[in-house]
Amino acid sequence: MGLVGYDGAKFSVPDDVEIPYIDGDGIGPDIMKAALRVFDACIKNVYDARRSVSWVRLEAGEEALSKTGSYVPDVTIDEIRRHRVAIKGPLTTPVGKGIRSINVMLRKKFDLYANIRPVRYLPGLPSPLKDPNGIDITIFRENTEDVYAGIEFASGSEAAKSLIDFMDEKLGVKIADGAGIGIKVMTEAASKRIMRSALDYALSHGKDRVTIMHKGNIMKFTEGAFMQWCYEVARETLGQRLITEQEVTEFNGGSVPSGRVLVNDRIADNMFQQVITRPRDYSVVVTPNLNGDYLSDAVAAEIGGLGVAPGANVGNEYAIFEAVHGSAPKYANKNIANPTSLILAGAMLFEHLGWTEAHGAIYGAIEKTVRAGIITQDLARELGSASVGTAEFADAVIRNLQ
Ligand code: NAP
């Protein structure tokens, strides 16, 4: 068995690759078990004996805490580093106490600066929209900065008090005593690299529009600057291929001419209504961390909910693929949870490795399964139809890989 290699510029993937996985908490083990069966069947079906995956189990979350006293033991970090890619189930984050977030910690540790969430409607899925057909939006969320980076100081703490004094004395800004304080940081480097990722994706996947989502009208020096930096990258990267919204509407009847890429921007609040009223106008969306967190779940709701939308955290050297939903503890060990999000995250992992046939096969099999009305309870209850369990759903996907 071999490891994914990286020579400083590109990855190499052996045909018999080792990939680590983390079950996760709550429903994590249920959906991981189902997903791994689908992955193995897919690889065997698509590549016969030419390619294979050996799965390496790593511990993190509540299981690791009870066994080792640490949510993410060093060995887990070392193994992800050694393998360069991993797939994980959801991990519980205690609210208002304990570890800040294992997910945020992993993103920081491996500099996984791009959170990528493709949201594509598959016919047969329930949707709150009258017509969800054709929704195909991939969100590139900056993953390392913004208020989401967790630079926060508790109300009444020494750090918060000194910041309040500093703001008053040095900057003449009055903040109420006893305020909790969070800091919003956005840099040119981080904003530009997420835009580069979004543009690379758009160009390599034949997408003709990239939308910058921001709240720069109010937060001018963070989100406003994010927008400007993104436009700078668009101009540098696309040159003559860049087309503006004005050119598209005034001279091209609203459509993007072949070979060109429209780069436009939307203020965050408007973006939320646009993805409901005109979702087909959006293809690739690039956004700071917090906006992206909210938007990805909102758009996921349009195509069946969190149970069906996959996600990836990708950096230059490492990548971790995941279900975007949480650990939904009330469904743990009940064979109820929907494994689709994690299964599609696996499809993204295979695409990342360059195994595009496996990516296509998994999407095809999920599509066929859902179209046949074989769905888990989260979706069935919306449609008033019968449901299957986690394992039975995976069985159907495996049958549809044939
Ligand atoms: P959640 O676990 O995503 O669950 C919220 C609701 O979404 C569930 O009650 C269920 O809805 C539905 N749901 C989510 N995944 C589902 C699936 N695969 N199949 C069927 N239904 C599913 O969100 P949460 O309750 O806010 O968070 C629980 C824990 O997970 C928290 O500790 C949170 O921090 C953590 N979390 C982790 C990640 C991650 O690891 N990436 C992401 C988000 C949250 P119904 O109740 O309507 O049936």
DSSP states along 232-292: HHHHHHHGGGEE-HHHHHHHSTTSPPTT-EEEEEEEHHHHHHHHHH-GGG-SEEEE-HHHH
Residue whose Cα lies nearest atom 25 of ligand 1: it is 328
Distance 339 CA to ligand 1 centre (A): 12
Confidence of residue 73 (pLDDT cuts 50, 70, 90): very high
Q: Whose alpha carbon is nearest atom 42 of ligand 1?
A: 326
What does the pLDDT look like over 236-269, one tens digit per residue? 999 999 999 999 999 888 899 999 999 999 999 9
User: Where are any strands of DSSP class E within 13-67?
Assistant: 16-22, 52-58
What mean pLDDT comes out for the span 79-97?
Answer: 89
End-to-end CA distance of the chain: 26
**Predicted local distance difference test score (pLDDT) of residue 12:** 93
Dist CA 31 CA 24 (whole Å): 9
- Evaluated on CA atoms 295, 296, 299, 302, the torsion sign reads negative
Does 95 score more than 70 pLDDT? no
Q: Which residues contact 382 (CB under 8 A, 6 or more apart)?
A: 126
d(CA 116, CA 96): 27
Q: Do the Cβ atoms of 278 and 135 come closer than 8 Å?
A: no
Q: Is 293 a catalytic residue?
A: yes
* Ligand 1 atom at shortest distance from the alpha carbon of 94: 32
297 counts as catalytic: no
Give residue 9's pLDDT. Answer: 84
Mapping DSSP to helix (H, G, I), strand (E, B) and coil, where does residue 178 land? coil
Q: Supply the DSSP symbol for 127.
A: -
Q: CA-CA distance, 25 to 112, in Å (whole number)?
A: 21
Q: 146, 208, 293, 378: which one is catalytic?
A: 293
160 neighbors 179 (Cβ within 8 angstroms) = yes
The two tokens of residue 389 are: 């369990």
Q: What is the pLDDT of residue 149?
A: 84
Q: Residue 5's beta-bridge partner residues?
A: 12
On average, the pLDDT of the chain sits at 94
Determine the residue type at 217: N
Tokens 């949510």, residue located? 71
User: Could you tell me the pLDDT band of residue 99, with boundaries at 50, 70 and 90?
Assistant: low
Mean pLDDT of 96-119: 86
Which residues on adjacent β-strands are paired with residue 58? Answer: 22
Which of the residue ranges 42-46, 74-78, 86-90, 98-102 would you say has the lowest mean pLDDT?
Answer: 98-102
State the Cα–Cα distance between residues 397 and 368, nearest whole angstrom.
8
- Whether pLDDT at 79 is above 70: yes
Extract the tokens encoding 1: 């068995």
203 CB neighbour count, 10 Å cutoff: 16
Report the C-alpha gap between 314 and 112 in whole angstroms. 5
- CB-CB neighbours of 355 under 10 Å: 22
Is residue 281 annotated as part of the catalytic site, yes or no?
no
Q: What percent of the chain has pLDDT over 90?
A: 89
Q: Where are the beta strands (DSSP E) in 8-160?
A: 11-12, 16-22, 52-58, 85-88, 114-120, 136-142, 152-153
Options 148, 318, 331, 363, the catalytic residue: 148
Is residue 46 within 8 A of residue 109, CB to CB? The reply is no
**pLDDT over 70 (residue 136):** yes
Cα 239 from chain centre: 28
Tell me what pLDDT residue 334 has: 97
Residue 293 CA to ligand 1 center (angstroms) comes to: 14
Q: CA-to-CA distance for 376 and 394, rounded, in angstroms?
A: 10
Q: Please, are residues 112 and 314 in contact by the beta-carbon 8 Å criterion?
A: yes
Question: Ramachandran region of residue 97, left (φ > 0), alpha (ψ -120 to 50) or beta?
Answer: beta
Any idea which residue has 């959801």 for tokens?
A: 90
Given the residues 215, 318, 368, 378, select the one marked as catalytic: 215
Instruction: For residue range 153-202, list pLDDT tens digits in order.
Output: 999 999 999 999 999 999 999 999 999 999 999 999 999 999 999 999 99
